[in-house]
Structure 1
């Protein structure tokens, strides 16, 4: 029990530190979001008086008469109430609404792509490690080269080949613009069709890392005593590979996969930009370009919670699986 309490206390402290940095860092950037908002309103033909500016400063929580400490306390209070402020780049939309609209797109695209690349990479890595020294070893340098290719370059190649030349997939967007978003079959089919090419880019770019890591751990596991004992007992090779070698070799990959799931919510900014995909990554880029403090803070907060949650889940899982983890923690 002490192990889990210490872990919970540590991650609560880490969350507080991350929330504090989330408040401080955007305010260190040059520019003022209120000035940007005022300029946008004037470009649309509107006139802004001092009273309106004061109202916007209060609304956005920056540039007012209050001290930074008061803004920080107000920021924490708003977080506890679930109020993330108003987005400058998507004014007058709330930050929570902007995130809620874009986050599902990223979770589906990047989440499923990460899961698929993990399963393929780990499966191929286990097979390559088990049959090391055969022609299957050629998969390692091939996939490693693909992992080293920049995202945007690979995405542009796939667009030129599969979209422009062959016309198999659409060039950009998350769905057919003539359709109304909803849960009907036509819209879901369009969303899946538009997401295949971005997902393929992510899978090709990331599968090599999972394959190489699993292959190396598999080779190491095969020299362990429990594998040699299983061979001496005359067990089937398939049983030894899956139940003994791969089962233990996959643990580091599972930890890495859990952590990578935490970064799913941050999206793949370059991929979403190339394909004009309506995910959280494009919203984050838009927020940075417009000095949108509130939206940046909201997105960073979601990313922070996801990453800390994933790390906490891994620690707790290891504590349940391996009692030695709890024992070492108790000794220290």
Structure 2
């Protein structure tokens, strides 16, 4: 319990630091979001000073001293206010992120979980049967695919499976030509799944080797431990020794990596969403940087930081459940 309390205090402090850094960094960036917005309005008439001031108020910008802005920023955060997005004007930043997150979690989150599960299971089996055909073929083959630059792998799959053979759509997250908008309609859901298969496959192929090799190396070390030899000497089945004794302890180092990957899920896979023009947080972050949409950049970075902290905290809890040494930690 004392260990958990210390970790809670640490994450509260880390949260405050993340919020503070997120406030400071955009104000150190060159340029003015109002001027960037006005530049996109050229040819639409003269912009008066009163209009510029109204835009500053609309976008939540202030000329007040920095400490005053900081406390106003904290107050707005507690009220769920993150400003107005320039690139999605007049939509609030929170509503833009809220509309992006389901797409990102559905694609990147699902692909990350599938990659972790498949890679971990493969790591368990190839380490248990070292020197077998599976160990000899699977590890080098998957490592080869993971070594291919991600965007080349994505473009190659698009060319072979979408452009040349039309097995899958080329871009977007759903059929934009259909009269059916985003809904729970079975036809729309089927279209979403069809559009997600190719980018999800790219993510799985590029990341599965890392999970497999991590688990394989951890399992090889664990299999030499005394308690594993003792379990075998007791006459326990290979399946029970492998799953209940060896893999349960060998998976602990992978949990931290997986929790961090889940944190990055909220940020989206930037390259994935760019290559496939897939709607999501990563694609909106790219557009926000292009349009100097500081409010949206700031909001997305804050969500990424919160997701990372939450994912690491969850990994701490899982560690406590799986490893009694952490639960019994003193001091």
TM class, shorter-length = over 0.9
Query: Shift of the alpha carbon at 1:150?
Result: 1.6
CA separation in 2, counterparts of 1:96 and 1:287?
A: 14
TM-score (norm 2): 0.95
Query: Shift of the alpha carbon at 1:60?
Result: 2.4
Query: Shift of the alpha carbon at 1:315?
Result: 1.4
Q: Paired residue for 1:199?
A: 200
CA separation in 2, counterparts of 1:220 and 1:251?
A: 13
1:247-266 to structure 2, matched below 5 A, reads: 247-266=248-267
CA separation in 1, counterparts of 2:323 and 2:249?
A: 12
Query: Shift of the alpha carbon at 1:259?
Result: 2.2
CA separation in 1, counterparts of 2:134 and 2:154?
A: 27
**What is the aligned length?**
328
Deviations 1:64-121 (A, max 9, x none): 4312222222111110100010001111111111111111100000000001001110
Conservation of the 8 A alpha-carbon contact between 1:125 and 1:212? yes
Conservation of the 8 A alpha-carbon contact between 1:27 and 1:293? no
Q: Paired residue for 1:151?
A: 150
Conservation of the 8 A alpha-carbon contact between 1:263 and 1:303? yes
Q: Paired residue for 2:172?
A: 173
Conservation of the 8 A alpha-carbon contact between 1:22 and 1:300? yes
What RMSD in Å do the two structures reach over aligned CA positions? Answer: 1.4
Secondary structure in 2 aligned to 1:42? Answer: coil
Gaps in structure 1 of 5+ consecutive residues: none
CA separation in 2, counterparts of 1:111 and 1:117?
A: 10
Matched, 1:9 2:9: yes
CA separation in 1, counterparts of 2:232 and 2:298?
A: 55
TM-score (norm 1): 0.95
Gaps in structure 2 of 5+ consecutive residues: none
Deviations 1:163-193 (A, max 9, x none): 1122110111110012311111011000000
Deviations 1:209-261 (A, max 9, x none): 00000111111111111111122122222222122211221122223212211
CA separation in 1, counterparts of 2:63 and 2:210?
A: 51
Query: Shift of the alpha carbon at 1:326?
Result: 4.4
CA separation in 2, counterparts of 1:320 and 1:239?
A: 19
Query: Shift of the alpha carbon at 1:123?
Result: 0.7
Q: Paired residue for 1:36?
A: 36
CA separation in 2, counterparts of 1:99 and 1:46?
A: 31
Conservation of the 8 A alpha-carbon contact between 1:214 and 1:250? yes
Q: Paired residue for 1:110?
A: 108
CA separation in 2, counterparts of 1:231 and 1:317?
A: 27
CA separation in 1, counterparts of 2:290 and 2:118?
A: 37
Conservation of the 8 A alpha-carbon contact between 2:119 and 2:211? yes
